[in-house]
């Protein structure tokens, strides 16, 4: 499939809206939760990649984290992606690893994209975890400060979603304690049901966010759940 943006000059393109989905793939996600992730990812690729208007402006990367963090899908135009790799659950839950990884990957992706003639809206990080960080607290908080440093022009807007053993206060810290950015499932919720509902909501969120770009003022639209509001996203130089 040919990307829409490949047919126009750089000066005619809309700014792209990068999304990084960060998935906890530690051992506690084994079984139904990780199976749900692998079932929903192809739907995300099809929904975003096969709609030319969405694929024109959305760029999506998938990062997994356990003991280490990996970009299992580099930031991509999903219309050019044939399949999304499956993920497996193993290891511990290093928040420091994923925050350090994101800091470097976002910077590298931005510089590469600008060299190709693209402009960016501020990137969005969708952080999904079923547990507490296994790092030393100062280690992951230090990595988070680097990722969200106000002095860094490419700092992302972060939405965080937790379930299982995730800690509400930790998730709030991940989103800099900003209102309507961190969300947690009700105690006792079944992760096998929470994960597919969340991922389906995120797919719709990405599609809806893409439409705002054509209005000239991009919005990061959270899933349509109680207390979730649209967050204005500023364009980068």
pLDDT tens digit sequence for 37-69: 999 899 889 988 989 999 999 999 999 999 999
| Structural domain total, the chain | 1
Q: What is the mean pLDDT of the chain?
A: 88
Residue 218: pLDDT over 90: no
Q: Taking the model in full, what pTM does it have?
A: 0.90
Does residue 237 sit within a domain? no
Rounded Cα distance, 15 and 18, in Å: 10
Token pair for 169:
């206060």
Instruction: Find the range with the poorest average confidence among 8-22, 52-66, 215-229.
Output: 215-229
Instruction: Find the range with the poorest average confidence among 15-24, 90-99, 114-123, 190-199.
Output: 190-199
Task: Check residue 12 and give its pLDDT.
Answer: 63
Rounded Cα distance, 214 and 80, in Å: 21
* Residues 74-127: tens digit of each pLDDT: 999 999 999 999 999 999 999 999 999 999 999 999 999 999 999 999 999 999
Rounded Cα distance, 75 and 103, in Å: 14
The CATH number for 227's domain is: 3.40.50.410
Q: Which domain holds residue 21?
A: 4-232
Does residue 16 sit within a domain? yes
Helix H or strand E segment including 49: helix 32-49
Rounded Cα distance, 225 and 211, in Å: 19
- Lateral strand order in the sheet of 58-65: 69-76, 58-65, 17-24, 124-129, 157-162, 182-184
Residue 141 vs residues 38, 95, 96, 137, 183: alpha-carbon distances, Å:
30, 9, 7, 6, 19
Residue 185: pLDDT over 90: no
Does residue 27 sit within a domain? yes
Contact 222, 229 (CB under 8 A): yes
Closest CA to 22 of 79, 97, 80, 81: 97
Does residue 109 sit within a domain? yes
3-state helix, strand and coil shares in percent for the chain, rounded to the nearest 5: 40, 20, 40
Does residue 63 sit within a domain? yes
Does residue 77 sit within a domain? yes
Does residue 61 sit within a domain? yes
């Amino acid at each position: 499939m040919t990307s829409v943006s490949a047919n126009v000059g750089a000066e005619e393109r809309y700014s792209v809206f990068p999304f990084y989905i960060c998935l906890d793939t530690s051992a506690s996600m084994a079984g139904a939760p990780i199976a749900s992730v692998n079932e929903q990812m192809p739907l995300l690729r099809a929904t975003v990649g096969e709609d030319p208007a969405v694929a024109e402006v959305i760029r999506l990367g998938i990062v997994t984290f356990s003991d280490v963090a990996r970009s299992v899908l580099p930031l991509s135009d999903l219309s050019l992606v044939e399949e999304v790799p499956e993920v497996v659950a193993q290891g511990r839950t290093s928040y420091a690893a994923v925050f350090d990884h994101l800091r470097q990957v976002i910077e590298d992706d931005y510089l590469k994209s600008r060299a190709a003639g693209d402009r960016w809206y501020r990137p969005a990080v969708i952080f999904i975890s079923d547990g507490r960080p296994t790092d030393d607290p100062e280690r992951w908080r230090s990595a988070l400060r680097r990722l969200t440093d106000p002095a860094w022009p490419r700092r992302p807007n972060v939405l965080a979603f937790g379930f299982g053993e995730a800690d509400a206060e930790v998730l709030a810290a991940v989103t800099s304690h900003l209102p309507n950015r961190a969300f947690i499932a009700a105690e006792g919720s079944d992760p096998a049901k929470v994960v597919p509902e969340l991922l389906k909501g995120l797919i719709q969120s990405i599609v809806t966010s893409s439409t705002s770009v054509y209005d000239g003022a991009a919005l990061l639209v959270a899933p349509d759940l109680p207390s979730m509001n649209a967050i204005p996203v500023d364009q980068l130089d």
